[in-house]
Structure 1
Amino acid sequence: MKIGIIGAGEVGLTYARPWSVAGHDIVLCDLKPSPRAQAFAAELGLSVSTVITEVVPACDVVVSCVFGTVSLAVAEQALRSMNRSTLFVDMTTADPSQIRIAAAHAAELGVAYVDVAILGAIALTHEKTNLLGAGVGIERVISLFTSVGAPLKVVDGGVAGDAAALKILRSVFTKGMEALTIECFMAAEKQGVTDKLHDALSDIDEASLRDFLGALIRTHVVHAPRRLKEVEEAERQLRAADMPVSVLPGVKALFQRTTDQIVANPPDASAPSLKEAFEWLFKANGISR
């Protein structure tokens, strides 16, 4: 199989190696190939091009690994020169709406278009990094990646753009948790109670993540006023200990907002379901679903 990789950076080179070793014919394409990319190509005996339209017509698969800011322009340029039987794999960091525009263009041309989101640190885990995929032609993509040990999970019923959207939401959760963890555990380490804090948090392991997060959402719309007091006290104690406080003010603002909304419009149920909690939150924040 001939695979054209547009963008010879970290992502492109990461997958070029195992695919080449597996026997695929790899062509790298980059407007300005870096010395690293040129050395990589020389090592594996790969050809390097600087013109997309010279590469994609002869390819069975085209994989875009460019920056998100140029993703749509690159996709549209490539799609104009691709054969109908060619598969386009978008591994960029583009806005999901841009991916959906490109996928719609591909559909008009009869080209299969799959969005593949990278869910981990590819510089650390290389081709073993978890992937999430969605779009027309996903079966071919699964075969392409899993054949070299790259773990790819499919967004059930998803379309191109869904994987990128989920990656962004995942980042909201994981980066927020990372920031709060730093703030919390720096304070714990200063007080010499890091191990004890791990023990105090161990009950969270007793429930599934889905159940734990669901419980937070359901109870938040009822108990935010009481929890606001806990957040205020936590912030006071961290400041008294002369610790940096960046995350808690944002947490406090959210709890204050929910508290004000509860006073103005209390939830109908004292123990709302997850659906009822979401309905109240959207309505209280003036957001249409």
Structure 2
Amino acid sequence: MTVIAAASKIVIIGYGEVGRAFGDQLEKMGERPLYVDPVAAPRDPKHQVVPALPDHIEPGSLVLGVFPSAVAASVAREVAKRAGAFTYVDLSTSPMTLMRDCDAILAGTEVAFVDGAIMGSVDLSGAGSPIILSGAGAKSVSAALNRLGFNTRAMANSLPGEAGGLKLLRTLMSKGIEALAVECYATAQRMGLEAELRENLADISARPFPNLLDAMVRTHVLHAPRREHEVEDAIAQARSFGLQTPVSDAVLAAYARTSQRIAEESPTPPANVAEAVRWLSAGLS
């Protein structure tokens, strides 16, 4: 495993918003990163921006990849061509299978591969956004980045891909809530109940969010039929104000599927959320 030197050369692949935010933090700590971007031009004359990775990367260097997941494999292939025992951190938030492919591309080289996922908004928090790291070298990368003012955590005993996989699991939840919030807020606005809605939703945060989700999933096996009718009424209300509800329509369909399975199988009430998930996941296979 590559050991990251305290004063390693740092390369950032990607000169977009995230790359520049990370570079700004590194510069505050006295580093002068090299940016690699095939299309970007320097926005500041102090920055070193080149169109391709150097042929040789110094041993002990840290290479950070901040680019869309669509190019993750092609970048990994380019990294694999470079000589040198350095560490490469892919922060593209890619699916687990893609990160495992990138790890395989780099197998047999001296490059240590680490998968990373930025959990917060760089637009809001800059380089202070939480970053989760996975892979054999995650612990040393986390220590190196934290010394440089970043906010990282290494997943214990992890494999490459687990950080990105965790982020995309979170995406399923957060982006789904976001899409439902659009429909809910739009309906509230038409009804003149925006302020009242926000006040009414406050009790949802009275307990830890994961605990709330556990309760919802566990009781879904019991109460999906009743909740299906409630969702149906909520959709009808939104439509009465001239709104379409495509996301809520999908939610209603999900409740209908569970209700049908309950009618056909009469499942035993689950003792815990794990039992509920096992039964419910069978309907998603």
Residue of structure 2 equivalent to 1:209: 209
Structure 2 unaligned residues grouped into runs of 5+: 1-7
Following superposition, the deviation at residue 14 of structure 1 comes to 1.5
Pairing of 1:111-260 with structure 2 (within 5 A) = 111-260=111-260
Following superposition, the deviation at residue 176 of structure 1 comes to 0.9
Asked whether the equivalents of residues 4 and 59 of structure 1 are also in contact (C-alpha less than 8 Å), the reply is no
Asked whether the equivalents of residues 3 and 59 of structure 1 are also in contact (C-alpha less than 8 Å), the reply is no
Residue of structure 2 equivalent to 1:31: 38
Residue of structure 2 equivalent to 1:100: 100
Following superposition, the deviation at residue 55 of structure 1 comes to 5.3
| Aligned sequence identity (%) | 29
Pairing of 1:266-285 with structure 2 (within 5 A) = 266-269=266-269, 271-285=270-284
Asked whether the equivalents of residues 128 and 151 of structure 1 are also in contact (C-alpha less than 8 Å), the reply is yes
Question: Normalized against structure 1, the TM-score is what?
Answer: 0.88
How many Å separate the matches in 1 of 2:58 and 2:102? 18
Q: 1:215 is paired with a residue of what secondary structure?
A: helix
Question: Normalized against structure 2, the TM-score is what?
Answer: 0.89
Asked whether the equivalents of residues 56 and 83 of structure 2 are also in contact (C-alpha less than 8 Å), the reply is no
Residue of structure 2 equivalent to 1:74: 75
How many Å separate the matches in 2 of 1:206 and 1:31? 49
How many Å separate the matches in 1 of 2:115 and 2:220? 34
How many Å separate the matches in 2 of 1:184 and 1:104? 44
Q: 1:201 is paired with a residue of what secondary structure?
A: helix
Q: 2:38 is paired with a residue of what secondary structure?
A: coil
Going from structure 1 to structure 2, the CA distance change for 1:55 and 1:14 (only over 3 Å counts) comes to: farther
Q: 1:39 is paired with a residue of what secondary structure?
A: coil
* Structure having greater relative contact order (Cα 8 Å, sep ≥ 6): 2
Worse overlay, 130-139 or 250-259: 130-139
1:175-195 CA distance string (max 9 Å, x none): 111111121122223322223
How many Å separate the matches in 2 of 1:77 and 1:277? 45
Asked whether the equivalents of residues 76 and 105 of structure 1 are also in contact (C-alpha less than 8 Å), the reply is yes
Structure 1 unaligned residues grouped into runs of 5+: none
How many Å separate the matches in 1 of 2:110 and 2:55? 20
Following superposition, the deviation at residue 255 of structure 1 comes to 0.3
1:122-150 CA distance string (max 9 Å, x none): 22321122212111212222223223432
Following superposition, the deviation at residue 107 of structure 1 comes to 4.2
1:36-78 CA distance string (max 9 Å, x none): xx133x1x3x433223243534661111123322211111221
How many Å separate the matches in 2 of 1:197 and 1:47? 50
Residue correspondences, number: 278
Worse overlay, 52-61 or 17-26: 52-61
